Amino acid sequence: MKIAPSVLTADFTNLKAEIHSIKDADIIHIDIMDGNFVPNISFGPAITKQINDVAIPNLDVHLMVLNPLDWITKFAFDKVEFITVHYEANNYLEAIEAIKKHNIKVGLSIKPNTKVSEIKDLLPLVDLVLVMSVEPGFGGQKFMVDSLDKVKELVKLRKELSLNYIIEIDGGINKDTAPLAKEAGVDLAVVGSYLFNQKDRKKTMEDLRWEYCCLFKKYLKK
Ligand code: DX5
Ligand code: ZN
C-alpha cells in the first residue's frame, strides 16, 4: 500500500521543512476546501504552487469545492499527477473532461453517504477512486469502518469490469486502521494528522506501508 501524506495538518510557518520531511512519500495529498462544499477553508493555488516547486514526489490534488470546473486550470502545475473531484459537486462530468485536457489523471471521490453503485457507470472514465473514510472538511477525525466495504466493492468491480483505477482512502488512517485498509484492498492511503504528529516521518510512512505484512509476520512467529 502506498502512502500519500496530507499536508493539511502540517506546520505552515515551516512549510519548506515540512515538505522536505515527506520527500520519501509516494505522492503528496493536497486538500483544497472552499467553505461551501465543506464547512472549512484550507489553502489555494498560490500555496499549492509553492509546494509544487519544492516537492520531490508528485502531487495528488483533492478538490473539496462546490464548482470544481472553476478550479482545474488554476491547479494544473507540472507535478500535479492527479486531480480528484467529488461526485457530489456541481458539473463533475465537465470537470473530469477538463482534467483530461490538461493531461492530468482523473480522480473521483465519494463522501460517506454516497454508495459505490451510484458511480458504477463513471468508473471507466477515471484513473482513481477516492473513498472518504470521514466526512470531508477536517483532519483528525475518526475512521469510519463502513468505508472498507466500499473498498472491497471497488476491488470486485475493477476485476469484473476489467478496469485499472487506483483505490485511495482518505481520513482517520493511523497504525491501527492502515492494516484494515490494506487488507480491504486500498492501493493508496492518505495520512494527515497521524503522520504530522510523528517526528520520524520517513519511518512512520515505512511502517504504515508494511504494517499489515508485519502483523502477518508476527502471526507466523506464534
Ligand atoms: C479531510 C481531508 C483529509 C485529511 C485527512 O477532509 O480530505 O485528506 O487531511 O486527515 P487525517 O489523516 O488527519 O484524517
Ligand atoms: Zn483529502
- pLDDT tier, 107 (very low <50, low <70, confident <90, very high otherwise): very high
CB 166 within 8 A of CB 2: no
* pLDDT, average across residues 16-22: 98
34 DSSP assignment: B
Average pLDDT, the chain: 95
pLDDT digits (tens, 9 = 90+) for 113-134: 999 999 999 999 999 999 999 9
pLDDT above 90 coverage of the chain, percent: 94
CB 70 within 8 A of CB 91: no
- Alpha helices, H only, the chain: 15-21, 45-54, 92-101, 147-160, 178-184, 193-196, 201-221
Residue 211 has pLDDT above 80, yes or no: no
Task: Give residue 3's pLDDT.
Answer: 98
**What does the alpha-carbon distance between residue 35 and residue 152 come to, in Å, rounded to a whole number?**
31
The answer, yes or no, to whether any atom of ligand 1 lies below 6 A from the CB of 190, is yes
**What does the alpha-carbon distance between residue 77 and residue 158 come to, in Å, rounded to a whole number?**
29
Ligand 1: which of 3, 12, 31, 132 to mutate, most ligand atoms within 8 Å of CB? 31
Q: How far is CA 132 from the centre of its chain?
A: 8
The answer, yes or no, to whether any atom of ligand 1 lies below 6 A from the CB of 6, is yes
